Amino acid sequence: MANQKTLSESLREHGVTRRGFLKFCAATASMMALPPSMTSAIAAALEQARRPSVIWLSFQECTGCTESLTRSHSPTVENLILDVISLDYHHTLQAASGDAAEAARMQAMEENHGNYLVVVDGSLPGPGANMGYSTIAGHSNYDILMETVEGAAAVVAVGTCAAFGGLPQAHPNPTGAVAVQDLVSDKPVVNVPGCPPVPMVISGLLAHYLTFGGLPELDGYNRPLAFFGQSIHDRCYRRPFYDKGLFAATFDDEGAKKGWCLYRLGCKGPSTYNACATMRWNAGTSWPIESGHPCLGCSEPS
């Protein structure tokens, strides 16, 4: 529970230089589609900020969302956890286990009542379902979620499973899986869908919360507009081929080799809103369409 330090104190403790700090602020401004002139305002806000306590709950999921977060490169997951937030509970990343892990969650809830963020990945069996399908330390996912969000400032549903039900909810939905927003109605819920979500979108949302002390503007699906405001199609580097009517018809024809549009191969880019085309994956190396595969539309409901 080291969240009583300001961010700048924490950064100094971890040997982060002023230049490195400003680079992080510039990356945060860019992620949130803010002008570069906002960098100094973000730096000033972050220097005064107390690191918010974050409790991360994992339910019915594949751990891809956490795997994605660990590939965040600006900020890195180390920056994020050591410098930006106080990650007080996370099954996969925490050292504690068993009773000690659950005690850490209870302590974070008590000490930060009303102020902590709850991040959830995975869907969970809803009311009427067999709660035994998914339990942690003998408690149902439902009980853990409701107990933890009671004192939260806001809830972030990370991944399409938490945001919309995702793979566990696919027909015939054997576990009666529901999304977080189906259960939480008295706290703000932000959805960060994707299977998995773009790592920089997860860390960018947390950085936004810390910088501005609140949640960003959301779209109709409660997704942050800064990241989900434009379709994959609108930002796709293959878009000029679509506009000229040049399409790959198979995965290995001349059109595919020339990098033409993948729409006729089933690409869901025109109806999918996400930041893959600009933020890309693996430290900005590439993204599915650049690898020759159509968009699957993973960040949309159903």
In the complex, which residues of this chain contact ligand FSX (CB under 6 A)?
61-65, 121-122, 159-161, 166-167, 195-196
Nearer to ligand FSX, 166 or 204 (CB): 166
Nearer to ligand FSX, 81 or 195 (CB): 195
Nearer to ligand FSX, 62 or 225 (CB): 62
CB of 294 to ligand FSX, least distance (A): 18
Q: How far apart are CA 123 and CA 142, in angstroms?
A: 10
For the CA atoms of the chain, what is the radius of gyration? 20
Nearer to ligand FSX, 46 or 161 (CB): 161
**What residue has token string 């306590």?**
53
CB of 168 to ligand FSX, least distance (A): 8
Nearer to ligand FSX, 166 or 224 (CB): 166
CB of 166 to ligand FSX, least distance (A): 5
Which amino acid, 154? A
CB of 221 to ligand FSX, least distance (A): 14
Burial class (CB in 10 A: 0-12, 13-18, 19+), 187: middle
Q: Which residue is nearest to ligand FSX (CB)?
A: 64
CB of 162 to ligand FSX, least distance (A): 6
CB of 299 to ligand FSX, least distance (A): 9
- Name the CA dihedral angle for 29, 31, 34, 38, rounded to a multiple of 10 degrees: 0
Nearer to ligand FSX, 26 or 190 (CB): 190
